[in-house]
Amino acid sequence: MSADTTAGSSLLPATGAWQQGDPPGRRRWFEQRRPLRLEAGGELPGVRLAYETWGRLAADGSNAVLVLHALTGDSHVSGPAEPGHPSAGWWDGLIGPGRALDTDRWFVVAPNVLGGCQGSTGPAEYRPDGRRWGGSFPFLTQRDQVAAEAELAGGLGIDRWAVVVGGSMGGMRALEWAIGHPERTGALLLLASTAAASAEQIAWATAQVHAIKADPNWRGGDYHDAGPGGGPHGGLGLARRLAHITYRSEGELRARFGRDPQGAEDPWRGGRYAVQSYLDHHAGKLVRRFDAASYVVLSEAMNAHDVGRGRGGVRAALRGVTVPTVVAGVDSDRLYPLSQQAELAAGIPGADGLRVVESPYGHDGFLLEVEQVAALVRELVG
């Protein structure tokens, strides 16, 4: 791993997860005391979900919107970087007065996913016996994560979401909401997502998981109390590099970086190309704000994603989605190609064709092309 990512790594905590005692930021918490039974067997003895809200819930609960984040996202959809939130909101231009999700009209809820690392129950959190979950954290599926979110909705007094919005991994959960809880889902926006993880998507995620587990500091997932510098930062950084290549398009990387060196560095004498520095930068950012074991848990849950499992196959499952649905993909996305969104749009009775987000940025276009995403939201909410 390059010097850019490891610089100061001996001072980094073992995990970038939010820790008890850290500033809460805008987070609130919902505690589910009873066990959550898991699709693959076993249970979690109790679940805590961190979440954030914007706007006010109507007296009849009819104006609630659920926003679901992608793999390394969290509940901080909107708002500045501040104590407790190392990064600004990842869809900051979408939520607020006069915006597509107008907080004078809508009550917006964004949970940190079960298995995540920004305040929700996950590997970095503590079990009832006071020990970290670590490597003993159970295997999760998207349906388990949605089951936890359904408990959160009940706790907030929300019987039915007016709209459920999700991109990438969040789109997987949004689709599970519509199929598994049709009576609680009023409309649906699916962005850059799929009905089932493909062989190539599983392959990319598997390589990233292996990179993390090959790090000597992985320690079977039980590294969280190893002290500064004791986490699998090298493995997580490598996983992020691999992932980020798939998140952007070849054309963008060529146009931005070409074969240029990084500043005065000479790639023939131990220096880096500009694109290598770019990957190092994103690896370094992630190890400071994310947890390696959560990355593994969430990646494996994404690999398990298949809305047709136990429902007669994908086509049969999609036919059950009759609510108004907007399906959109990014034209330059090579990780979740448009063919996958075309399958969703063709198979969902409530969908009216496929919308295409035009972007040079690849898969990350669903995060970066906020104005185009805002137009899709307005198409649903009016």
Secondary structure E strands in 19-76: 28-32, 36-37, 43-44, 47-54, 64-68
Q: Map residue 240 onto helix, strand or coil.
A: helix
pLDDT attached to residue 6: 45
Q: In whole angstroms, what is the distance from residue 55 CA to residue 337 CA?
A: 34
Out of 120, 332, 363, 364, pick the active-site residue: 363
Say whether pLDDT at 17 is over 50: yes
What pTM value is reported for the model?
A: 0.96
Closest of 336, 269, 262 to residue 305, by C-alpha? 336
Out of 168, 193, 299, 332, pick the active-site residue: 168
- Computed from CA positions of residues 91, 51, 223, 228, in that sequence, does the dihedral angle turn out positive or negative? positive
Neighbours of 118 (CB within 10 A): 28
When pLDDT is cut at 50, 70 and 90, the band that residue 10 belongs to is: low
- Note if 168 is an active site residue: yes
At 340, which amino acid appears? Q
- Note if 333 is an active site residue: yes
The β-bridge relationship of strands 36-37 and 43-44 is: antiparallel
pLDDT attached to residue 11: 81
What would the mean pLDDT of 65-83 be, rounded to a whole number? 97
Query: What's the mean pLDDT when you consider all of the chain?
Result: 96
Interval 24-39: pLDDT, tens? 999 999 999 899 999 9
Q: In whole angstroms, what is the distance from residue 74 CA to residue 107 CA?
A: 18
Task: Supply φ then ψ for residue 353, to 5 degrees.
Answer: 80, 180
Cα-atom radius of gyration of the chain, to the nearest Å? Answer: 20
Q: Which domain range does residue 324 map to?
A: 3-381
More confident residue, 337 or 229: 337
What would the mean pLDDT of 11-29 be, rounded to a whole number? 95
- Note if 363 is an active site residue: yes
Say whether pLDDT at 267 is over 80: yes
**Residue 371 C-beta-side C-alpha neighbours within 13 Å:** 2
What would the mean pLDDT of 98-104 be, rounded to a whole number? 97
% of the chain at pLDDT higher than 90: 95
Out of 294, 333, 359, 364, pick the active-site residue: 333
> Most distant CA pair in the chain: distance in Å?
67
What would the mean pLDDT of 82-109 be, rounded to a whole number? 96
When pLDDT is cut at 50, 70 and 90, the band that residue 2 belongs to is: very low
How many structural domains is the chain composed of?
Answer: 1
Interval 232-260: pLDDT, tens? 999 999 999 999 999 999 999 999 999 99
Provide the CATH number for the domain around residue 227.
3.40.50.1820
pLDDT attached to residue 9: 62
Q: In whole angstroms, what is the distance from residue 180 CA to residue 141 CA?
A: 13
> Looking up tokens 């490891």, which residue turns up?
6
Interval 187-210: pLDDT, tens? 999 999 999 999 999 999 999 999
Say whether pLDDT at 5 is over 80: no
CA distances for 107 relative to 67, 104, 145, angstroms: 11, 8, 21
137 DSSP assignment: P
Tokens of 28: 């609130």
